[in-house]
Each structure stands twice: as structure tokens, then as C-alpha cells.
Chains A and B, each alone.
Chain A
Amino acid sequence: MWDEADLVPLSALQHWIYCPRQCGLIYLERVWAENRFTAEGRLLHEKAHEAGYETRGQVRIARGLSLRSEAHGLVGVADVVEFHRADGHWLAFPVEYKRGRSKDHAADRAQLCAQALCLEEMLGQHIAAGALFYGQSRRRQDVDFDAALRGQTIATIAQVRAMLRLGRTPPPPNDKRCPQCSLRQACLPAICGTGLGSAAWLARKISRALEEP
């Protein structure tokens, strides 16, 4: 149904919500994030080694679960999916592990919700909630997959797909997000979109060099 190239990676959604350019740099430019990818790949690899299942009482835990949604054209891997025993069924409950702490934007919640969309389709069940676990605060935060979050998630998927199809990296925001961004050196937020390198810039450079005493 979907061309492979049109499948949106689950992980791209949170990047897009945080910063569309960051998403473009990682998923279109790729080369910029090579070091990051190497690191991510290694972590993924380590995780794959421990991918598997365990049962703790009324909860079964699956790690490194591959997810896909035909309806939404999504693909990716879930960190942890818990299956809770309820009325004789095992009900999926996605849990995403984040290194940092709870953020006020919806990026992490949308990523989790997208996992739920995949799981609903793959398992044929309705999933009402999941959780985000933040390493820094060691707090687990429940997330309800309500209509608003589902709507936002689906809209984000469409936006990311449009960018990937177009092949154009969005312009940098150059705001308070930029100083902490690990991709800052590849993004160059302060100078992109300026007149740098233009004919006028070059003429100025030349005339300044010629005017020097």
C-alpha cells in the first residue's frame, strides 16, 4: 500500500514537533547526523541483544518490538511494550524511555501515541493509554491517547511525510532551542537564510580587502 520511501519513521515525529529543521537534517541530510546515527545504531544494536520477553506477574514485557501501521504509513521500533492482564486479555501499554525529563511540548507524547496507533492496528485492540518514563526524574508519566493527541499525531505524520517527499530541509528557527541542539554545527542557524555568500556579500568582501591600508 505504501511505497517504502513514504513510510514515516516513528522517531521522526518527536524531532519534527521539537524542530522541523532538526527533523530535516536528520532524515534528509543524514550526513550531518552521522555521528549521532552511529551512536544510535550502536545503542539499538545493544538493545536488540536484549530484545525479548519477560513476565512479571500480571504484566508481560516486550522489548525492541518492531512496529508498523498500514493505515498511517508508520514504521519503527518500540522500546518497551507492556501487556497488562485484563479480563482474560493481554492489553498493550507502550512505554517509551527518555533520558531527560518531562517536557512541556508534545513531542514525546506524539511519538508514544504513534506507537499506540501501530499497536492498535497490529493487535486489533483499542489502546487508551501508555506511559513515558523519564530517566532523569525517574518518574513515569501516564499518557492518555485522547482525540486531541491522536489528531495532532496524525497531522504530524502528514507533515513529516510531505517534507520527506519534497526533499527540502526546513529553515532554521534560530531561537532559544538552538544553543542546546547537538546539530547546531551542521545547521548553522544564525547564518542560514542570511545574505551570506550573495553577490553583494562577495563585492563587499572584495572592496573591503582592497581598501585596507
Chain B
Amino acid sequence: MKHLLNTLFLTRDDLQLVKDGQSLLVKQGNEVLLRKPVHMLGGVISLGRSYITPQAMAFCAENDVALSLLSPNGRFLAQVRGPVSGNVLLRRAQFRLADDDKAANNIAQAVVAAKLVNCRGLLRRAARDQTLEADAEALALAADRLAQVLRRLEGAQSLEETRGLEGEGAAAYFGVFGRLISAQGDGFAFNGRNRRPPRDAVNALLSFAYTLLAHDISGACQAVGLDPQVGFLHRDRPGRPSLALDLMEEMRPMMVDRLVLNLINLRQVRAKGFAIEPAGGVRMDDDTRKGLLVAYQERKQKEIHHPVLDEKIPLGLLPHVQAMLLARHIRGDLPGYPAHFHKF
């Protein structure tokens, strides 16, 4: 299995990434800021306009290090990667299943079920700690709605139905998500999910962190030989990492939502770290973004018990484990995809 490898983030515009022997160097002018042996890296994410030499790109590709270029807001722009590796039999089987509505629906159902259970787990956990009775009540109500959606999900016969229930669940969840924020008055009001561009600070944090998670899951899919663009729940659309987005559904609550809530509630981010653009979009400043990146990396170190492997793993390995389990299902070793049901 892959170890939880570090991801190197280039967060500024005036950096250069160059190859030196078996290491990557981050330079600013003639000064070397960081030297990292390539075998210690799992990915490089450049946020902005750093200068990356062709040698460094080739070196990353050779060493199976995913090199991704993101906009400063975390929008995925491009990725440099080596030759398509892995197993053509696996990818063929993945495409066949994706074309088979019933088989695709089984996977989508598992993913959505885990997402709903995990969202519900997060809400119920938070409801227990709620001091405001009105909030606790609303959270319990939303948890009940998620439970109803879950029961209906079991009978969902088509992908359409499963997608509809996923949407219903998400609406119920984000309908009360704002009540989990204790610092609402400090500029962190949340009135539902919105994106492209995010129109408040909470959505800006969520969107950016989801991009990071999608990048990690996409890398994990590729590492086990799956095509990250061919999904089951999400329809194929050129440029969209549909499979990564599928797997992301079940991991959002514990890998991102909890993280964003902690950052706000523990006051590790401040409202003044966000700027409203003339068109109404909200953007983080560099320090806030850096804080989120650090917190995300730390979150991935947190150990969880993986019920299927019956082993302790760092949360950051979850994308790899789930991608591997999905691959085992696709290759016929498992009768279905065992999605991850999280213990909050």
C-alpha cells in the first residue's frame, strides 16, 4: 500500500521548482528554500504562477509524483503525469460497469448511503454538543430527514433515483450546516452551499478544501489503475474527474466539513482573512489559505479505524484504501463496493 506521502504546496508566485539529483528544490531567486527527496513526496500542488522547470516536471512524472497546477482559488487547471500505467483489464472492466446502469447504480448507492450516514453522523455528533435548544432540534430534525432518505435509497432502482436522493440528502444537510458554526456572528454566516464563485467565507473554505480532496482522490484512483474520469454516480463530462467526485461523496464530511468547522469554531481563521470581490465572490487571503492547507495536511494524519481492513490508518490514506477496494470490486473479488461508513 502507499504510505501517506507528503504533498508539497507551492503557494506563492515567485517560486521555482527545479530538479537537483534525486531531490526537488524550491527556490526563490538564488536562495534554496526547501530540498525534498522525491521518494518522500506523493504530490506537488502549485497554486499560482510558480516556475516549474521541464526537468522537474519530467522528474515528477518518472517518480509517480502527481504534479497539479491549481489557480490561487484552488481551481484545477492541469496535471503533469507519466505514461498511463496500471492495468488495462481493470480500466476496461471499469468502463463496462460504468455503462451497465444496474452495476453503476449499485456502486452509486453504496457511495450515497455512506455519504448520508456520514453526514448524519456529523450532525448527530454536533447536536449532542449543542447548547441552543433550537439548534439541537433543527439538527435532530435534519438527521431524521437523512434517515428517511437513507431508507428510500435502499429501494432506488435507477441511477436517476439515486442521484435525486443524493441531492435531497445534501439539501437537508447543508440546510442546517450553518447551525454547526458557533461563530456565525463573526462573519461566518452560512446560508446554504454555493460555489463558482463561493459567495461567503464558509463556502470559500469548503470549495477550496474539496478541491484539495478531489486532487488526493484522483491521485489515489490513478495509483490503483482506475480512470478518475469515468464515474458511476457522476456522469462523464470531459475534464471532470467523475470517479474522484463519486468517491469524494462519502469522504467529504470527515475529511473536509469537520475540518472547516474546526477552523472556524476554534477561531483559527478570521473573517478579515476573506475579501469580497466586486462581483460578489469571496476570496481567501494568502495567510488564510496557507492556514487551511496546513490544517488539511494535519487532518490527514489523524488515525482512524478502518472497519473493512480492521486496521488503524491515517485519514489521509482513506482515498487510497477506498480506491483499492473499488478496484477489487471492479475486478470481481468483491460482490460490491464497500463504501466507508465513518465513526464520528
Interface residue from A171, A185, A201 paired with B333 (Cβ < 8 Å): A171
For residue A155, CB closer than 8 A to chain B, the reply is: no
Binary interface encoding of chain B residues 89-100 relative to chain A, with 1 for a CB under 8 A from any of its CBs, else 0:
110000000000
Find chain B residues with CB under 8 A from A172 CB.
333
Find chain B residues with CB under 8 A from A202 CB.
109-110, 113, 154, 336, 339
Max count, chain B CB within 10 A of own CB: residue among A28, A196, A209 = A209
Once the chains bind, are A34 and B150 in contact (CB under 8 Å)?
no
Interface residue from B1, B224, B308, B332 paired with A168 (Cβ < 8 Å): B332
Once the chains bind, are B334 and A196 in contact (CB under 8 Å)?
yes
Binary interface encoding of chain B residues 74-110 relative to chain A, with 1 for a CB under 8 A from any of its CBs, else 0:
0000000000011101100000000000000010011
Distance in Å from the Cβ of A186 to the closest Cβ of chain B?
Answer: 7
Distance in Å from the Cβ of A94 to the closest Cβ of chain B?
Answer: 31
For residue A1, CB closer than 8 A to chain B, the reply is: no
Interface residue from A32, A188, A203, A205 paired with B117 (Cβ < 8 Å): A205
Once the chains bind, are B335 and A188 in contact (CB under 8 Å)?
no
For residue A198, CB closer than 8 A to chain B, the reply is: yes
Once the chains bind, are A28 and B121 in contact (CB under 8 Å)?
no
For residue A210, CB closer than 8 A to chain B, the reply is: yes
For residue A102, CB closer than 8 A to chain B, the reply is: no
Once the chains bind, are B335 and A198 in contact (CB under 8 Å)?
yes
Find chain A residues with CB under 8 A from B223 CB.
31
Find chain A residues with CB under 8 A from B225 CB.
29-31
For residue B240, CB closer than 8 A to chain A, the reply is: no
Once the chains bind, are B341 and A28 in contact (CB under 8 Å)?
no
Question: Which B226-275 residues have a C-beta within 8 angstroms of A?
Answer: none
Once the chains bind, are A31 and B86 in contact (CB under 8 Å)?
yes
Question: Which A160-213 residues have a C-beta within 8 angstroms of B?
Answer: 167-169, 171-172, 185-186, 188, 191-199, 201-203, 205-206, 209-210, 212
Complex: A192 Cα to B225 Cα, angstroms: 18
Known contacts A29-B90, A31-B90, A199-B106, A205 near B85 by CB under 8 Å: no
For residue B122, CB closer than 8 A to chain A, the reply is: no
Once the chains bind, are A192 and B110 in contact (CB under 8 Å)?
no
Residue of B nearest to A21 (CB): B333
Find chain B residues with CB under 8 A from A31 CB.
85-87, 90, 223-225
Complex: A170 Cα to B234 Cα, angstroms: 31
Distance in Å from the Cβ of B231 to the closest Cβ of chain A?
Answer: 17
Interface residue from B90, B113, B332, B333 paired with A205 (Cβ < 8 Å): B113
Known contacts A29-B90, A206-B150, A197 near B117 by CB under 8 Å: no
Find chain B residues with CB under 8 A from A199 CB.
106, 336
Distance in Å from the Cβ of B134 to the closest Cβ of chain A?
Answer: 22
Once the chains bind, are B147 and A210 in contact (CB under 8 Å)?
yes
Find chain B residues with CB under 8 A from A195 CB.
335
Once the chains bind, are A210 and B150 in contact (CB under 8 Å)?
yes
For residue B338, CB closer than 8 A to chain A, the reply is: yes
Residue of A nearest to B226 (CB): A31
Residue of B nearest to A212 (CB): B124
Question: Which B308-342 residues have a C-beta within 8 angstroms of A?
Answer: 308-309, 324-325, 328-329, 331-339, 341
Residue of A nearest to B64 (CB): A34
Interface residue from B86, B120, B334 paired with A197 (Cβ < 8 Å): B334
Distance in Å from the Cβ of B63 to the closest Cβ of chain A?
Answer: 9
Find chain A residues with CB under 8 A from B224 CB.
31-32
Once the chains bind, are A206 and B113 in contact (CB under 8 Å)?
yes
Find chain B residues with CB under 8 A from A209 CB.
117, 120-121, 150, 341
Distance in Å from the Cβ of A159 to the closest Cβ of chain B?
Answer: 18
Distance in Å from the Cβ of B318 to the closest Cβ of chain A?
Answer: 14
Complex: A206 Cα to B112 Cα, angstroms: 11
Max count, chain A CB within 10 A of own CB: residue among B85, B333, B341 = B333
Distance in Å from the Cβ of A194 to the closest Cβ of chain B?
Answer: 7
Once the chains bind, are A188 and B328 in contact (CB under 8 Å)?
yes
Find chain A residues with CB under 8 A from B333 CB.
169, 171-172, 188, 192-193
Known contacts A199-B336, A206-B117, A169 near B147 by CB under 8 Å: no
Distance in Å from the Cβ of A108 to the closest Cβ of chain B?
Answer: 27
Known contacts A30-B87, A193-B333, A206 near B154 by CB under 8 Å: yes
Once the chains bind, are A169 and B331 in contact (CB under 8 Å)?
yes
Distance in Å from the Cβ of B253 to the closest Cβ of chain A?
Answer: 13
Max count, chain B CB within 10 A of own CB: residue among A29, A172, A192, A206 = A206
Complex: A186 Cα to B325 Cα, angstroms: 9
Complex: A106 Cα to B328 Cα, angstroms: 30
Complex: A167 Cα to B86 Cα, angstroms: 14
Once the chains bind, are B308 and A28 in contact (CB under 8 Å)?
no
> What are 14 A-B pairs at a CB distance below 8 A?
A29-B87, A31-B223, A167-B89, A186-B324, A188-B325, A191-B309, A193-B333, A196-B338, A197-B325, A197-B336, A201-B336, A202-B113, A206-B117, A210-B150
New contact pairs (11) apart from A194-B334, A197-B325, A206-B154, CB-CB < 8 Å: A30-B85, A31-B86, A31-B223, A31-B225, A32-B224, A196-B334, A197-B337, A198-B335, A201-B335, A202-B336, A205-B117
